[in-house]
Amino acid sequence: MFEILAIGYPWIKALHIISVIAWMAGLFYMPRLFVYHVEEAETKPDLQPIFEKMELKLLRVIMNPAMIATWVFGVLLALVPGVVDWSSIWPYTKTGAIIGMTWFHHWLGLRRKDFLSKSNTLTGRNYRLMNEVPTVLLIIIVISVVVRPF
């Protein structure tokens, strides 16, 4: 099995990168949609269903499949012999940041449900601040993999 992974390594890596880009796009865009949802839908209630539809499509059509693909291809990459030095610290910092990214993804899904149930208590400012979470995690992941400072 590991031989097949080694042969397919360039394809697995390419598909992993594509998946990560799609997932990150969603993680950056969803909080921004929430900002507009909070700030615009209050004064223009006819926009509420539009925001709900956009958020649903972003989560279900782009973010969820991209997250799953990122995890699948990432695990496959980690199984390729010689790709990960498990005696180093960097794979663990990367994994921790990926778990944080996954938590953030699910947190966004819960906030979408808050909007649907009309129980959102966060402000546009709160969502703007939370929009920085994926950026910080992305920095940790890229430095862990490329620079490998640990």
Task: For residue 42, give its domain range.
Answer: 2-147
Q: What is the pLDDT of residue 59?
A: 98
> How far, in Å, CA of 68 to CA of 118, rounded?
29
Residue 41 corresponds to which tokens in the numbers above? 């839908």
Q: What is the pLDDT of residue 43?
A: 84
Which DSSP category does 8 fall into?
T
Q: What is the pLDDT of residue 64?
A: 98
Q: What is the pLDDT of residue 45?
A: 82
Q: What is the pLDDT of residue 30?
A: 98
* pTM as predicted: 0.92
The amino acid occupying position 122 is L
> How far, in Å, CA of 38 to CA of 32, rounded?
10
**Terminal-residue alpha carbon distance, the chain:** 30
> How far, in Å, CA of 71 to CA of 74, rounded?
5
Q: What is the pLDDT of residue 2?
A: 75
Give pLDDT tens digits along the chain (150 positions).
778 888 999 999 999 999 999 999 999 999 999 999 999 877 888 899 999 999 999 999 999 999 999 999 999 999 998 899 999 999 999 999 999 999 999 999 999 999 999 999 999 999 999 999 999 999 999 999 999 987
Q: What is the pLDDT of residue 4?
A: 86
Tell the residue number behind the tokens 């909080």, with chain if given. 31
Question: How many domains are contained in the chain?
Answer: 1
Give the 3-state secondary structure of 81-137: CCCCCCCCCHHHHHHHHHHHHHHHHHHHHHHHHHHHCCCCCCCHHHHHHHCCHHHHH
Q: What is the pLDDT of residue 106?
A: 98
